[in-house]
Amino acid sequence: MNIIDAFESMATLGENLDTVDSMLSGWRNHMQVYPEVFTACTMDYTENGYDWETIARERVFPYSLKHWSCLKETYARLKPLCHGDTLRGGGFSDDDLPQGLFVLYHGLGNGAGWAHEYAQTPAIWLGIEKICELGWTSEAALRALIVHEGTHLWHAQKRGITLPMFAKLCEHPVFRLVAEGLAMVHERRVVKAGTRSADWYKECARHFDALKHRFALALSHDKEACAMFFGDWHSVEGLPDTGYYLGEKLVDSLTTRISLEEIATMSLPTLIGHSEIFMRSTH
């Protein structure tokens, strides 16, 4: 898998920028070389009704300015891991190895990892600034992150669909639950807790039944409310990313009798049926 490195020259540029405005301006100019990255980062906000420049000024670049050394160190640790051997560590065989590109970039806090096309090619996008913000900077966490996003590429490949089609399927909360669950299970093959802390797992387990109840309730009344279970900026029962935990537990419950490959290719109605049984089960 080849690397599109949109961060290396930004790392050098950032050394000479000492204000939020100069960093934003420098980023915008730098992105002229990578217009597809610029468009993806900005549209991620504008399509959802947010002003990306306000977010960049108030949240993203103040953080980057203060933690620039972390960004550079993380980038230096991450780039050597961007190859097929890291993905093999997640349990993928050579025949099943996800195919595509790696994109290393400074984004707008869009995500630490993102399964998204680049030049109409499946790609694992790795946002250096968000990786640092989340504290996923150890080699083990970086390997787990690569495997997580690689699993989404594998999942789309297994279904014989493009990543835009995969993203459309993920708009259904149950499919997204399963997609993230598959990725979490593959993460565990790299490091036991993947990118998540032991405390996060402990607290999610403590609220397991409540999380299942609230997800089922949201699904039956307002599918958009299920978005609260995904993303570190949301919380359910005081915890972020609880959909990832529920997805992992759902997939674990299925793998006692069904292979990961079979789960990856199941129809949405079948997945919904399995999720309904799972949500009704007691801890």
Sequence-distant contacts of 135-139: CB under 8 A, at least 24 apart: 136/112, 136/195, 137/70, 137/73, 137/74, 137/77, 139/77, 139/81
- Domain final residue pick, 101, 127, 161: 161
- Domain final residue pick, 101, 136, 161: 161
30 and 124 co-located in one domain? yes
Q: Assess if residue 166 is contained within a domain.
A: no
Determine the pLDDT at residue 193.
59
Sequence-distant contacts of 232-235: CB under 8 A, at least 24 apart: 232/134
Q: What is the pLDDT along the chain (283 residues), one digit of tens a residue?
A: 899 999 999 988 888 889 999 999 999 999 999 999 999 999 999 998 999 999 999 999 999 999 999 999 999 999 999 998 899 878 788 888 888 999 999 999 999 999 999 999 999 999 999 999 999 999 999 999 999 999 999 999 999 999 999 999 999 999 999 999 999 999 888 776 567 888 999 999 999 999 999 999 999 887 778 888 997 777 889 899 999 999 999 999 999 999 999 999 999 999 999 999 999 887 6
Determine the pLDDT at residue 283.
60
Distances in whole angstroms, Cα of residue 224 to Cα of each of 12, 37, 49, 52, 267? 41, 27, 15, 22, 21
12 and 128 co-located in one domain? yes
Determine the pLDDT at residue 239.
92
68 and 190 co-located in one domain? no
Determine the pLDDT at residue 93.
80
106 and 206 co-located in one domain? no
Q: How far apart are CA 125 and CA 116, in angstroms?
A: 7
**pTM for the full predicted model:** 0.93
Kind and range of the H or E element at 124?
strand 123-127
228 and 144 co-located in one domain? no
29, HSE (Cβ side, Cα atoms, 13 Å): 11
Q: Which domain holds residue 26?
A: 2-161
12 and 45 co-located in one domain? yes
Domain count for the chain? 2
- Domain final residue pick, 161, 189, 213: 161
**C-alpha closest to that of 279 among 209, 221, 220:** 209
81 and 15 co-located in one domain? yes
CB 108 within 8 A of CB 53: no
145 and 178 co-located in one domain? no
Q: How far apart are CA 89 and CA 142, in angstroms?
A: 12
183 and 146 co-located in one domain? no
**C-alpha closest to that of 254 among 273, 227, 230:** 273
What single-letter amino acid sits at 96?
A: D
CA torsion 127→133→134→137, rounded to 10°?
A: 70
